[in-house]
Structure formats: structure tokens, C-alpha cells
Amino acid sequence: MTNEKPHIELKNVSAFYGRKRVLRDLSLTVPRNSVLGIIGPANSGKTTLLKILNRTLDFVDGARFTGEVFINGQNIADIKNPNDLRRRIGMVFPLPVGLPMTIYENVVYAPRRMGITAKSALDEIVERCLRQSVLWDEVKDRLGMLGTRLSGGQQQRLTLARALSLSPEILCLDEFSIAIDPVTTMRIEEVLKELRKSMTIMLVTNLVQQARRLSDNTLFLMASELVEHSPTDVAFGQKPKDQRTFDYVNGVFG
């Protein structure tokens, strides 16, 4: 039995876009250095949950959340500068968002803003992050090329490299493999298994078998409500806590 505080804790969290409630009374904890797979039908609140964690929901007009969210025991509402939080929580969205600059500058953009200027340090960050995102071998000889000239799958991996550039303590992945071929997806999944040793990973995926392969625990959301939060072997087993979980992971609906 460990007394370690959870890395992430939500208490009675609800989220709204205007008057529309998109998450209802979520309470859960996420252990440090674990992978939480987040599954569920479309419009069940999965992406909103990630946006709450690093307060990018703040950027959406009319959006808000209630309840409490704690990172390392600190209420994120008490963090005066949300950018301090966002530096600690990397985010990769479903479609690539390449910056209109070179591959090299894409990766070092955030470190430069944090005051890292030594070329040797920046070079190390670029190689480390591109290796972690399974892109180094493909681009190491053309780091001066515009990142927007890469293929869609390569741009998505560049987005992952950029998210890793500040060595975040939490990595949020929202359908990261949607633009990546299956072989590369499997390679990145192997990388994620290594990354979990140094960070906590929140993985939103519509590929339920991906959640099964990678997750320590699985969260099943449906119609804005928490249906199941249990160890992955339970959620994908013969007797999950809720019959709807069994039906969803076995393709009865979705």
C-alpha cells in the first residue's frame, strides 16, 4: 500500500459550452507514471477533459468548468499564470498543427521561449524529441526544411516532438494516431511505454484495442458521464463494472 498522492485528481468536475453540459460530475484519480486510456462515443466529453487539465478550455468562448482539479495536490485554479501549467502538460491534438518554420525551429520553439539558448542544449532537445516521436531517421538530414512540407503523418509526429520538448510531467494525447499509418503507430506505442516511466499519459482514443494495449486504467465516458473507471484488464474483461462498457469494447455499439 502506498501513501503517494495521485498525480491528477478530479473532484465533481462538470464542463459547459454555454448552457450545454458536456461533462457531468467527474471524480477520479490518476496515479503517477501511469497511462489512463479514455474511450467512449463521439461527443462524450473526452477532449474536453484534456482541455480542462491544462486550461486550454480557457481559450474557448463561453466554455467553463466547475469542481476542482489537482495536479500534484495543487488546485489548478490557484495557478496564477496558466502558461506555467501548460509547460508541464504537453498536448497533442488529432490533426497536426505544424508551425510555419523549420523542423528544427518547431521543436525548439518552446525551449527558446523558456530561455534555453545554447546551441548544444537545443541540438540535444531536437534529437531526443525527434527520436521519441519516431521521426529522427527520416528528417535528421533536412532539419532546415519547413515542417509544413512534411507529410501529414510526419507533421503529426513533429507535433508530438514539440509537445515533448519541455519534458512535460503529463502528456495528453487526443487521437494522436489518426493521421499516422499503422506501422508507425505501433512504433510510437512502444515509445509511449517507455515515456510512462518518466511521465503520466492521458490517452484519448477511438481505437479501443489501443487503449487495451497501452493503458493501466481505462475511463469510459458516454453522454458526458463517467460509466467506468477501472483497471484495463477489468474494463476489457468479461465482468466490467457496467454492462455498457462490455458492450462498447466488444463493438455492440459505438
pLDDT tens track, the chain, 254 positions: 456 789 999 999 999 999 999 999 999 999 999 999 999 999 999 999 999 999 999 999 999 999 999 999 999 999 999 989 999 999 998 877 778 999 999 999 999 998 999 999 999 999 999 999 999 999 999 999 999 999 888 898 999 999 999 999 999 999 988 878 888 888 889 889 989 999 999 999 999 999 999 999 999 999 999 999 999 999 999 999 999 999 999 988 86
Q: Which pTM value belongs to this model?
A: 0.92
CATH of span 8-249? 3.40.50.300
Give the E-state strand segments of the chain in sequence order. 8-17, 20-30, 35-39, 63-71, 74-75, 89-92, 170-174, 200-204, 217-222, 225-231
* Domain boundary assignment for the chain: 8-249
- Among 32, 9, 4, 54, smallest CA distance to 200 is for 32
Instruction: Please report the pLDDT score of residue 97 as a whole number.
Output: 73
C-alpha neighbours within 13 Å on the C-beta side of residue 1? 1
Determine the length of the chain: 254
Helix (H) or strand (E) segment spanning residue 84: helix 82-88
Strand order in the sheet with 35-39: 89-92, 170-174, 200-204, 35-39, 217-222, 225-231
- Among 94, 22, 107, smallest CA distance to 57 is for 22
